[in-house]
């Protein structure tokens, strides 16, 4: 059994509306439902009180964690702090810019939160409207200013690529906007049209008109990487960029195939070698339903996840973990793409290049699933 530190993910499934692209589990519910949910989260945290593992990252995701306000977050943080020593742990809360007026940043900072992840998506208000977001770019400025004044110095912003009507100029403006806010981390995700979302339910003709094709998405991704690198952000994972040393420690656990406990409706866990999750429903969570998702942590799974990182699969780390070298087949497969500038293979290991990141899904399958 692994005895290293683990992460804790808390899912807060409340939002004040539904963004047009969103397929996360979240609902608009009255306050008494929030009380009930917070109570159930605390109860579940207690069920893990004897795991005898250090928790070194906590991540409140959603949904919109900030919508439940500082008092509810504080109740959950107190519960975690009563059981685990969170000293030197990274504790992140996702914040929606529209909630800057209902959350007391100083309060959650005192409770141990030391990182904020703000869902901006675009600094252009027309693009925000087209995504069904319920805030403006100015709300984000207010949120960052308020957070910094309260003492936060580890802030991430989410951007989206491939938004309807997005242009190269408007993307550049969004990246500059984030850089001007002097934040430490940026996640830039390509818009994906998921089934059962407002966008996903549109007819094909409308979709073709509104959304980017693969080539245009790639162009915008490359452009975004270029702008962010010009501003000095390190491209450490396919969709993530940071100032030196300011990578998301919690999300690194996912890409390093490390273990974590997920609490709440729709939360996934990888714990004691097993993957499992709670269904996408309040009832499933309240009734303690857990769905088995098989064993985790195989060398293949590890390699697939690590290839999402700039550092790729590292020989030494691979040996430490599995007591054997990276399989020759991985090397042979990766070398086929080296001439095309998509991979790098040497004594340190195997990595995808930035150009390779663009084709990551296909490349990772070609390298690992031989």
> Does residue number 98 form part of the binding site for ligand SF4 (CB under 6 A)?
no
> Does residue number 99 form part of the binding site for ligand SF4 (CB under 6 A)?
no
Distance, CA of 328 to CA of 341 (rounded, Å): 20
- The b/e string for 245-269 (b: 16+ C-beta within 10 A; e otherwise) is ebbbbbbbbbbebbbbbbbbbbbbb
Going by C-beta distance under 8 Å and a sequence separation of 6 or more, which residues neighbour residue 88?
56
Exactly one of 15, 155, 345, 358 binds ligand SF4 (CB under 6 A); which one?
A: 15
Alpha helices in the chain (DSSP H): 31-47, 69-83, 105-110, 125-130, 137-150, 168-180, 204-210, 214-230, 249-255, 282-286, 299-306, 315-322, 328-335, 354-357, 360-368
**Count of residues engaged in binding ligand SF4, rule: CB under 6 A:** 11
In the bound state with ligand SF4, the residue whose beta carbon lies nearer, of 193 and 359, is: 193
In the bound state with ligand SF4, the residue whose beta carbon lies nearer, of 186 and 367, is: 186
Contact in structure between 236 and 184 (CB atoms under 8 Å):
no
- Number of helices (H), then strands (E), belonging to the chain: the values are 15, 15
> Does residue number 63 form part of the binding site for ligand SF4 (CB under 6 A)?
yes
Q: How far is the CB of 22 from ligand SF4 (least distance, A)?
A: 3
In the bound state with ligand SF4, the residue whose beta carbon lies nearer, of 129 and 355, is: 129
> Does residue number 64 form part of the binding site for ligand SF4 (CB under 6 A)?
yes
> Does residue number 199 form part of the binding site for ligand SF4 (CB under 6 A)?
no
In the bound state with ligand SF4, the residue whose beta carbon lies nearer, of 227 and 277, is: 277
In the bound state with ligand SF4, the residue whose beta carbon lies nearer, of 64 and 269, is: 64
Structure-derived torsion over alpha carbons of residues 172, 175, 179, 185, reported in degrees to the nearest 10: -160
In the bound state with ligand SF4, the residue whose beta carbon lies nearer, of 24 and 220, is: 24
Q: From 56-64, 241-249, 288-296, 299-307, give the range in contact with ligand SF4 by CB under 6 A.
A: 56-64
Q: In what order do the strands lie in the sheet with 349-352?
A: 313-314, 349-352, 343-346
Q: How far is the CB of 16 from ligand SF4 (least distance, A)?
A: 8
> Does residue number 119 form part of the binding site for ligand SF4 (CB under 6 A)?
yes
Alpha helices in 2-93 (DSSP H): 31-47, 69-83
Q: How far is the CB of 71 from ligand SF4 (least distance, A)?
A: 21
Instruction: Write out the binding residues for ligand SF4, residues 16-55 only, by CB under 6 A.
Output: 18-19, 22, 24, 26
> Does residue number 62 form part of the binding site for ligand SF4 (CB under 6 A)?
yes
Q: Which residues bind ligand SF4 (CB under 6 A)?
A: 15, 18-19, 22, 24, 26, 62-64, 96, 119
């Amino acid at each position: 059994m692994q005895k290293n530190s683990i992460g804790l993910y808390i899912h807060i499934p409340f939002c004040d509306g539904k963004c047009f692209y969103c397929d996360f589990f979240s609902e608009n519910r009255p306050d008494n439902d929030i009380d009930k949910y917070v109570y159930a989260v605390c109860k579940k945290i207690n069920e893990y009180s004897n795991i005898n593992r250090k928790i070194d990252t906590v991540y409140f995701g959603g949904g919109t964690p900030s919508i439940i306000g500082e008092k509810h977050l504080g109740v959950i943080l107190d519960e975690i702090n009563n059981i685990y020593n969170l000293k030197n742990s990274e504790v992140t809360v996702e914040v929606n810019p529209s909630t800057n007026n209902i959350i007391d940043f100083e309060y959650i900072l005192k409770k141990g939160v030391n990182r904020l992840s703000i869902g901006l998506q675009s600094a252009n208000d027309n693009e925000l409207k087209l995504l069904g977001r319920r805030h403006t770019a100015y709300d984000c400025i207010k949120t960052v200013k308020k957070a910094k004044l309260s003492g936060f110095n580890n802030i991430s912003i989410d951007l989206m690529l491939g938004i309807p009507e997005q242009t190269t100029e408007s993307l550049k403006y969004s990246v500059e906007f984030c850089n001007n806010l002097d934040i430490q981390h940026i996640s830039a995700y390509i818009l994906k049209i998921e089934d059962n979302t407002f966008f996903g339910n549109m007819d094909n003709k409308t979709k073709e008109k509104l959304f980017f094709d693969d080539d245009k998405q790639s162009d915008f991704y490359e452009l975004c990487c270029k702008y962010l690198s010009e501003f000095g952000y390190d491209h450490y994972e396919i969709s993530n960029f940071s100032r030196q040393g300011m990578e998301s420690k919690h999300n690194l656990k996912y890409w390093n195939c490390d273990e974590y406990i997920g609490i709440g409706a729709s939360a996934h866990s990888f714990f004691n070698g097993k993957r499992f999750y709670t269904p996408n429903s309040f009832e499933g969570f309240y009734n303690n339903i857990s769905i088995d998702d098989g064993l985790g942590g195989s060398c293949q799974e590890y390699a697939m996840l690590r290839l999402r990182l700039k550092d790729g699969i590292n020989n030494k780390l691979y040996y430490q973990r599995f007591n054997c070298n990276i399989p020759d087949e991985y090397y042979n497969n990766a070398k086929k793409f080296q001439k095309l500038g998509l991979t790098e293979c040497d004594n340190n290991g195997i990595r995808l290049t930035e150009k390779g990141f663009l084709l990551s899904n296909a490349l990772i399958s070609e390298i690992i699933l031989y």
